[in-house]
Structure 1
């Protein structure tokens, strides 16, 4: 599949720490799209990942999806139906739980200026996040795979870190 085949409104779904924001930024630069990171809309800037009120998040989300040219990374099932109705293409990153955990520790311990990070926020190892990756996400993976199959959009599933790296090469994306 060519990058242009997935259109100008692209949703990237997948587990935490799978590389959604990195891929979204690379696609945005290559295609001249706005990169929208749902973590930044869901959490208040300049906090330690404090959540916004639900209505405020949904309003910010709906403003973002009203645009004509974007690549949006994140799951947040509370507003996924309207996002997927606006999307022209879908990418599912479906990497293993072990890979997500490894990437989480690398990102929180070593990456200071991460693309898609919360403005003014602090990435640090949190037990809640470890639990989310190790326990909650494996259950969600089945839900996201089923949702991915349900939608009749141009779509691409990348099921390993190797497949994601190959996608970067195939589409000539810069990190």
Structure 2
């Protein structure tokens, strides 16, 4: 497969997301990872786009526990439930951090694409710390606000995808793996 060709699962995912219409939930997915203590963690993040055919971008606060956990154990699984399409996509992969100029360019691009309200999250106090009633939680960070050092780009390199289609009886389940050239495998639901 050429680097510009989309694997079949990407085409199916795009179609399922389109059936969600303008629902914000079409951009929400759950990130499953392993905590530094070895226990599971699940968080909801916002899909920010594709870096290429099999790498997707998410954003996080580098001061969060998630950043340390992913540095320790970069293997993750994403669950993307698209209710109108009655489809669940599970994407397994690894965190990849772009380096050098590529990293800075990607971070800057994502930062500029955020709305002022979206950027505001990175102006808040560090996540997970005790709440200080006097702390400022800005509602917006204006265009032109410098990129904060804790603005973290999470690039996930997808290695396996499972699709569970929840319509019909029986449900349909398929798997694609990078190791097999993204060949489709039919599975029991």
Structure with the higher helix share, 1 or 2: 1
TM-score bracket for the superposition, by shorter chain length:
0.3 to 0.5
> Whose relative contact order is higher, 1 or 2, with alpha carbons under 8 Å and at least 6 apart?
1
What is the TM-score of this pair, normalised by structure 1? 0.33
Q: Larger Rg: 1 or 2?
A: 2
